[in-house]
Amino acid sequence: MAKAKTNTEDYLRMYRQMVRIRTFEDNANQLYLSAKMPGLTHMYSGEEGVAVGICEALTDSDRITSTHRGHGHCVAKGANFKQMFCELLGKEEGYCRGKGGSMHIADQSHGNLGANAIVGGSMGIATGSALRAKLQGADDVTVCFFGDGATAQGLLYEVMNMAALWNLPVIYACENNGYSEYTKTEEIAAGSITARAEAFGIEAHTVDGQDVLAVNELTQDLVARARRGEGPFFLELETYRYHGHHVGDINREYYRSKDEEKDWKENRDPIVRFRGWLVEQGIATEDEIEAMNAEIETDATEAVAYAEAARYPDVSEVDMHVHSD
Amino acid sequence: MREITLSQAVNEAIAEEMRRDETVFLMGEDVAEAGTPFKVLSGLVEEFGTGRVIDTPIAEPGFVGLAVGAAMTGGRPVVDLMFGDFLYLVMDQLCNQAAKQHYMSGGKLTVPMVLRTNLGATRRSAAQHSQSLQALVAHIPGLKVAMPSSAYEAKGLMKTAIRDNNPVVIFEDKLMYQDKAPIPEEDYLIPFGEAHIKREGSDITLIGTSSMVQVAEAAADMLSAEGISAEVIDPRTLVPLDEAALVESVKRTSRAIVIDEGHQSYGVTSEIASRLNEKAFYHLDAPVLRMGAMDVPVPFSPALEDITVPTPEGVAENARKLCSGELIHAA
């Protein structure tokens, strides 16, 4: 693994954030399976190294835009479990007062501009955030998360053109998990993904998204350069989606094999790999890691119970927030 | 009082707001040196520079998307959409993104942006440069829609739109850019949701939007010569709509025609007529009539195009029928 940080606390926080995402998703999946959650949700499990590696290179004033598979970005950008589970269950104390749900979840106070349920729908927003930063002389950077499937949307090419023309501080982070919903990426994407950005003169990198330190090291460098006006940049993060397209996508052998899933989980899991590295480097003992995992599990259990007992919004809220004052 | 054109009024409004608030900026196709094809924005780049008057590529979804993101993070963009017909290109950015951010975030995110565009046929521009699509956006919760009917309204509504914390779509009639109106030298705003009675009358209410206010006024002149007293009301904004003022007028006159240049079916005229039926039914002496554009793509040939939109003669003819009782039992 790459060596990105020398601060022990940073390593442990990155590990903790990855486990928090996995734990959040496991609990969300249980809520779905036990029919306690309204609607569906899209699991981020397996992609934790991407969200954490990137968001740990950002400050609270840096912005991100997220996707329908957005719980991981939300946790990694600083959200807490209670308000997230409340949002998932449509409760008043959710980050969006229950009006957004899983597909629009965001802790806006930490610079998350929202999960977006239109594939590729936030590419304009992210690039516009970067335009605002440039116009106002601010030094914040915006990261636009999207999947490989979204590279088929025309909007990407319109906004990359403008970002490149105007040297905007935006990083396009393409989470290539190999599948565009229920279809292999190679069946929907001609040519190379990074070449799309390079056609606009945008510097593009491909990185192992299951190696959180490699992701973090590269992102830190690109964020620093984007702050100096050297953006935009494009990242293709090779990763894998452990669950189906959404929690209801159970029988999926018609588009990918169980052997393939098993291989990624057993041999490339970002949490297992990072945990091994932490122990090997003497940063944490197995006991310390197990204690951290248990603490996170307890946090999640408590947050779920809290959210289940929390109030729904009053019906008078239904036409509130249509317009701002 | 001095008189300036609608084009100058829009230009003044934007310039004043850009001087007042440095977060306001302009973007769109050929807005800088070219000042748009209609020359509405001429001179602004000279005062504010290319940093705040930004020429974009021809990529409507892209630059409207950028405006949404800039607005969500502290900018106040005024986006120029060269023709209203291009609204179809930006529907996701406008209706799924801009319109819903505030609601979906439980009130935490706001999108203070203005999208200025135009409407209006009879410029011999054919089906893809002549549409009046205000109903399309007025249908979407979260957007506000302004329809200036003169230079005076164009300036006051634009300034209000720029200061509003919501996405606002302003439709200007392409044929009115050179129309003049008296405009005060001093700063003024026109609040959203306040209809303006352009002319008082007692026999029938003519509700017009944008350039259809002029059509209604011309019809009222004809009717006046025949002894029919028509009231002309301009809602000025479709969202929010000053329903109370429209209902109040119709309760007094007991007859109404609603005139708008969008297609008649499922349109602005239908919506307003329905509200009048719901709120003023027992005061009506005749059915509320709708007069919109014909439900056809706008044709190129002048011989065809001119008959697709409401005219003063057509409005006056319908008003006569309503007032004489001829249309009381209209099918």
pLDDT at residue number B329: 56
pLDDT at residue number A246: 94
CA distance A251 to chain B (A): 31
pLDDT at residue number B115: 98
Indicate left, alpha or beta for B233 from its phi (over 0: left) and psi (-120 to 50: alpha).
Answer: beta
Does the beta-carbon distance from B71 to A128 stay under 8 Å?
A: yes
Q: Which residues are CB-neighbours of A233 under 8 A, at least 6 positions away?
A: A170, A171, A172, A202, A203, A204, A205, A222, A225, A226
| SS3 (DSSP) at B67 | helix
Q: Which residues of B27-54 are buried (b: 16+ CB within 10 A; e: fewer)?
A: bbbebbeebbebebbbebbeebeeebbb
A169–chain B Cβ distance below 8 A for any pair: no
Query: pLDDT-derived band of residue B325, with 50, 70 and 90 as boundaries?
Result: confident
Segment 261-280 of chain A within 8 Å of chain B by CB: none
Whether a cis peptide bond, with omega within 30° of 0, leads into B302 is no
- Residues of B within 8 A of A126 (CB-CB) are 69
- Residues of A within 8 A of B63 (CB-CB) are 158, 162
The predicted-structure confidence for A244-274, as pLDDT tens digits, reads as follows 999 999 999 999 999 999 999 999 999 999 9
> What percentage of chain B exceeds 90 in pLDDT?
98
Give the mean model confidence (pLDDT) for residues A221-249. 97
A167–chain B Cβ distance below 8 A for any pair: no
Q: Counting one residue from A and one from B, how many pairs have CB atoms under 8 Å apart? A: 144
What ipTM, to 2 d.p.? 0.95
Query: pLDDT-derived band of residue A95, with 50, 70 and 90 as boundaries?
Result: very high
Does the beta-carbon distance from A127 to B106 stay under 8 Å?
A: no
- Residues of B within 8 A of A118 (CB-CB) are 92, 96-97
A128–chain B Cβ distance below 8 A for any pair: yes
Does the beta-carbon distance from A116 to B75 stay under 8 Å?
A: no
Does the beta-carbon distance from A125 to B65 stay under 8 Å?
A: yes
Per-residue pLDDT for A2 more than 70? no
Does the beta-carbon distance from A323 to B109 stay under 8 Å?
A: no
B166–chain A Cβ distance below 8 A for any pair: yes
* Domain boundaries defined on chain A: 8-311
Q: Torsions phi, psi of B286, nearest 5? A: -160, 160
| SS3 (DSSP) at B299 | coil
- Report the residue of A118, A324, A325 to disrupt the B interface, i.e. the one with the largest count of B CBs within 10 Å: A324
Q: Average pLDDT of chain B?
A: 97
- Report the residue of B89, B101, B104, B110 to disrupt the A interface, i.e. the one with the largest count of A CBs within 10 Å: B104
Q: Which structural domains are found in chain B, ordered by start?
A: 3-182 (3.40.50.970), 196-324 (3.40.50.920)
Segment 32-71 of chain A within 8 Å of chain B by CB: 63, 65
Does the beta-carbon distance from A322 to B63 stay under 8 Å?
A: no
The predicted-structure confidence for A113-131, as pLDDT tens digits, reads as follows 999 999 999 999 999 999 9
Query: pLDDT-derived band of residue B207, with 50, 70 and 90 as boundaries?
Result: very high
- Residues of B within 8 A of A161 (CB-CB) are 57, 59, 62
The predicted-structure confidence for B82-114, as pLDDT tens digits, reads as follows 999 999 999 999 999 999 999 999 999 999 999
Per-residue pLDDT for A5 more than 80? no
pLDDT at residue number A28: 97
**Does B196 participate in catalysis according to the annotation?**
no
Q: Which residues are CB-neighbours of B275 under 8 A, at least 6 positions away?
A: B241, B243, B246, B247
A144–chain B Cβ distance below 8 A for any pair: no
Structure tokens at A72: 């991981």
Does the beta-carbon distance from A158 to B144 stay under 8 Å?
A: no
- The CATH architecture annotation of domain A8-311 reads 3-Layer(aba) Sandwich (3.40)
pLDDT at residue number B331: 44
pLDDT at residue number A7: 83
Give the mean model confidence (pLDDT) for residues A61-83. 98
CA distance A115 to chain B (A): 10
| SS3 (DSSP) at B168 | strand
B99–chain A Cβ distance below 8 A for any pair: no
Q: Report the alpha-carbon distance of residue B94 to residue B58 in Å, rounded.
A: 17
pLDDT at residue number A6: 66
For B55, nearest residue in chain A (alpha carbons): A162
The predicted-structure confidence for A134-189, as pLDDT tens digits, reads as follows 999 999 999 999 999 999 999 999 999 999 999 999 999 999 999 999 999 999 99
Instruction: State pTM to two decimals.
Output: 0.96
**Does B12 participate in catalysis according to the annotation?**
no
Query: pLDDT-derived band of residue B160, with 50, 70 and 90 as boundaries?
Result: very high
The answer to whether the CB of A14 falls within 8 A of the CB of A33 is: no
Does the beta-carbon distance from A99 to B93 stay under 8 Å?
A: no
The answer to whether the CB of A172 falls within 8 A of the CB of A234 is: yes
The answer to whether the CB of B103 falls within 8 A of the CB of A322 is: yes
CA distance B298 to chain A (A): 29
Give the mean model confidence (pLDDT) for residues A32-61. 96
- Residues of B within 8 A of A321 (CB-CB) are 102-103, 105-107
